[in-house]
A and B are shown apart, each in its own frame.
Chain A
Amino acid sequence: MSKDVVADLKRDHISKLLDKGMRTDGRKFDEMRPLKVETNFIGSAEGSARVRLGSTEVVVGVKLILGEPFADTPNTGVLTTNAELIPMASDTFESGPPDQESIEVARVIDRGIREGHAVDLEKLCIEPGKQVWIMFVDVHVLDYDGNLFDAANIGANAAFKTAIVPAKRAGKGEDYPLPVLHQPISITAVKIDGKILIDPTHDEERVADARFTVATLETGNLCAMQKGLNGSFTVDEIHKIVNMSRKIGDEVRAKL
């Protein structure tokens, strides 16, 4: 109950500012927060990145182990994405099995990197039908100030770029860099009072009516989308967000 009162007050504050074309942190509607990416942050992981997007902070770790391929894809490695929204990161996160929110986060991140072919999974095959590399992409949220989708997606892309396949440790020859194909970058927008904002903060997410995430490739093509929350978009708003995502996605890609 108290949280709702706070949300109502914040909503008033946020929407009054939006009417004047402003956001609470002084950004433009189509402006990302400052992005800092630190790769190889975790020595025990095959690839890793610590991403700070404003005050949202996530660590993405990539681990590879040997295993069996799925029966229907005998020639490709296996990609598994998981997101841990741990209680440290926010008073709204609880420990325990993953809830719908963290499952959605993990699946949207997974869809971006899988459909965008971030990693050439066919090169992660050792013996067709018998042995492949299983790649775990684990997202650990340390500080949650909104927009986990993009922070984690950027972290995964950054981690792939520096990841090493630990072949030697597994007795499979020399180590080699993870075969990276593309950089599918996701950009998320929310709608508040009919206005479209990129890279929402936690406060903005809490009062948002609807959310839309678009992952784009360096070719300008689109590879994954997800609409969320109870609100709606018009067809024109969807087009506007898709175009914003292509433009800002290019800017983010240039920074990695």
Chain B
Amino acid sequence: MGGTPTDLKLIDENGRRLDGRLADDMRPLKIEAGVLSRADGSAYVEWGLNKVMAAVYGPRECHPRHLQNPERALVQCHYNMASFSVDDRKRPGPDRRSHEISKIISEALTNVVFTEYFPRTSIDVYIEVLQANAGTRCAGLTAASVALADAGVPMRDLVASCAAGKAANTMVVDLAKEEDNFGQADIPLGYVPRTGEIVLLQMDGDLTYDEFDKGLNMAVNACKKVYEIQRDALKRRYAARSVDAEMAAPVAGAVKEGM
């Protein structure tokens, strides 16, 4: 977290953030499920200025084979940022940051997948960040769990994810890029709304205990909102399908809903 440059006011007198949001407001989140043809499941997320695609292949044969687990499936996430996703071109290929994010997202998703149903297999989750504006790991995890559901992978629940943080000495949710760069702390959270479990949690910056307490609560509440949007995306996807089926067998009055 860098220091606040004096010329940049992250929060104004009315409590409005640079993009007009209040402390508790998330950036606009749009999720579309089932957007890729070859993948077993997929989801596309636009979250503020973030654009993230997630695809799921599997359960399928696990490569390399020495990673196979005779008792359960391996959930392997591959988080990748496109070279054009940030202002200064990012060198293509995995770096240390993306390895770490892949690991913690794999762990978060493993928690909700019934891995014991698919011994020896791998469930591969690919997250491509096409445009980045802070919060890409949360967007990626949010997209990935919708993609897993779209692939029909049995899960205990979806994982919803959103960050809270501190900018201009105020706790806020869903940091945008300037707030991440010039703010004081960031707390990305992955949450299982049905059980109230935390499956991903990181923090960096400087927070008092009370600020952390407040931020964690704000992030949990934001995750509950994300969860509704995830569910809605899945409902829309499959509602559209059932309407398609009705269209195939002509029924008077059936109208295809636009996506």
Contact = CB atoms under 8 A, between A and B. Distances in A.
Interface in B68-110: 70-71, 96-97, 99-100, 102-104, 107, 110
B19 interface: no
Contacts of A4: 70-71
A210 to B, nearest CB: 8
A226 B208 CA distance: 17
A221 B206 contact: yes
A4 B69 CA distance: 10
A242 B212 contact: yes
Contact of B208 (A103, A212, A221, A235): A221
Nearest to A243: B209
Interface string B192-220: 10011111111111111100110011001
B100 A103 contact: yes
Interface string A74-116: 0000000000000000000000001011011011000100111
Contact of B96 (A107, A220, A222): A107
B207 A222 contact: yes
B198 A103 contact: no
B216 A104 contact: no
Nearest to B192: A232
B1 A228 contact: no
A234 B216 contact: no
Contacts of B100: 100, 103-104, 107
B136 interface: no
Contact of A228 (B102, B104, B192): B104
Interface residues of A, number: 38
A154 to B, nearest CB: 19
A59 interface: no
B111 interface: yes
B205 A223 contact: yes
Nearest to A233: B198
Interface string B211-233: 01100110010000000000000
Contact of B213 (A224, A232, A239): A239
A194 B49 CA distance: 39
Contacts of A106: 96
Contacts of A228: 103-104, 107
Contacts of B207: 221-223
B188 to A, nearest CB: 10
B40 to A, nearest CB: 22
Closest 5 CB pairs of A and B: A232-B197, A225-B203, A227-B201, A230-B110, A100-B103
Given A104-B99, A115-B1, 16 more contacts: A100-B99, A100-B100, A100-B102, A104-B103, A107-B96, A107-B97, A111-B204, A214-B203, A221-B206, A222-B203, A222-B209, A225-B203, A226-B104, A227-B200, A232-B111, A239-B213
21 contacts: A4-B71, A73-B2, A100-B103, A103-B100, A103-B103, A104-B104, A111-B204, A115-B1, A220-B209, A221-B207, A221-B208, A224-B203, A225-B201, A226-B201, A226-B203, A227-B198, A228-B107, A230-B111, A231-B111, A232-B199, A235-B196
